[in-house]
Amino acid sequence: MKAAVIGCNGYIGKHLSLFLQQQGWEVYGYGKKPTCDLNISGYTSLDIQLKSDFDRFDTQVDYVFYFSGITGTAAAYNTYENYIDVNEKGLLHLLNKVRTASQKPRIVFPSSRLVYKGVANTLLSEDAEKEFKTIYALNKWFGEQVVQQFSNYFDVPFSIFRICVPYGNLFADSYSYGTIGFFLTKAKAGEPITLFGEGEPKRTFTHVEDICLQIYHALSKEGSVNNTLNISGETFSLKEVAEQIAAKYSVTVEFKDWPKMDASLESGDTIFDGSRISQLIQKPLKNSFQTWLQSI
């Protein structure tokens, strides 16, 4: 199999590139940096904001993993042009290139928990009610809708994987992305971990290796073609995770009142129903949060 990974220097894109290469795939990376962080089959520097840069994109692959983008919440209101140019126009540049290919590769698009309306203590299936509280959430929903449109109108196949909270690392260091990364940075520095409110919101946490495994195995199943799948994982409240990390590093967890903006942006519980992907691939999670935390 041949795969193009756009965003191969990013957190999940880098892990996917390594993982696919370990499975014997030919992996061709694309990113804005002049060089690639990995030793892969080939690397091309490409700015997804520039339509002309996609003249250098080779469509002769089986899959295109679009894992490039800008994340964030309130920050997007100050730099909204970048969020639109990178997260929306960049994807359209790719799709416009792929739709004219003689053999169209499948687009693999990562979406987010932030497209869901959070519901307390409730598993959210792929068809659960949606709500968009941030520009980034709208970017992700735009991405989901536009890859479906290109499938309907131009026969470009796709698979969408919604990811809740990733953590862990398969490389030399123990850095974790996002929520867990923030907690670890504080704890390792000997500082208290801070949470808003009482840390009650619940999330589905998935080790990055399990994200790669689920995507890889699901892609080989017919049920993943032109379909949307939640990545499965383990459910914890933010408080539970923070307290476990704090205990390991002998720091405390402190609680602060919600700032007005953050309270408005908070989604509440986003607990994934992973039954669709679990039934498709029938493979248990390889990693658990507690085991991973003990190992770092």
Let me know whether 19 and 127 are in one domain.
yes
At residue 287, the pLDDT reads 96
- Tell me the C-alpha distance between 153 and 289, whole Å: 42
**In this structure, is residue 194 part of a structural domain?**
yes
Of 119, 98, 86, 106, nearest in space to 160 by CA: 106
Does any domain span residue 281? no
Outline where the chain has alpha helix (H). 11-22, 80-84, 90-98, 135-154, 178-188, 208-219, 238-249, 260-265, 275-281, 289-295
Whether residues 99 and 187 fall in one domain: no
pLDDT at 10 over 60: yes
Q: What is the CATH number of the domain that holds 225?
A: 3.40.50.720
Assess whether 33 and 126 both reside in one domain: yes
Please report whether residue 158 resides in a domain. Answer: yes
Position 171 scores a pLDDT of 81
140, pLDDT greater than 60: yes
Overall domain count for the chain: 2
Measured CA to CA, the distance from residue 225 to residue 106 in angstroms comes to 8
Residue 253 lies in a domain: yes
The whole-number pLDDT of residue 293 equals 94
Predicted confidence (pLDDT) per residue in 57-80, tens digit: 999 999 999 999 888 888 889 999
Same domain, 80 and 135: yes
Domain identity same for 187 and 102: no
Q: How confident is the model at residue 172 (pLDDT cuts 50, 70, 90)?
A: low
Conformation bin of residue 123: beta by default, left when phi > 0, alpha when psi is -120 to 50: beta
Confidence of residue 40 (pLDDT cuts 50, 70, 90): confident
Domain residues for 177?
170-204+233-271+288-295
- My answer on whether 83 and 181 are in the same domain is no
Residue 109 lies in a domain: yes
119 and 252 inside one domain: no
Q: Are residues 112 and 240 in the same domain?
A: no
Using one digit for the tens of pLDDT, what is the confidence trace for 258-276?
999 999 999 999 999 999 9
Q: Is position 282 within any domain?
A: no
Specify whether 148 is located in the same domain as 65: yes
Q: Are strands 202-207 and 234-237 parallel, antiparallel or unpaired?
A: antiparallel
Residues 97 and 181 in one domain: no
Q: What is the pLDDT of residues 230-239, one digit of tens each?
A: 999 999 999 9
In a domain, 105, yes or no: yes
Would 276 be classed as within a structural domain?
A: no
- My answer on whether 158 and 86 are in the same domain is yes
Whether 137 and 195 map to the same domain: the answer is no
Q: Is 120 exposed, middle or buried (0-12, 13-18, 19+ CB in 10 A)?
A: exposed
Which of 203, 183, 194, 186 has its CA nearest to residue 257?
194
What pTM, to 2 d.p., does this model score? Answer: 0.96
| Residue 247, domain CATH | 3.90.25.10
Euclidean distance between CA atoms 22 and 33, whole angstroms: 23
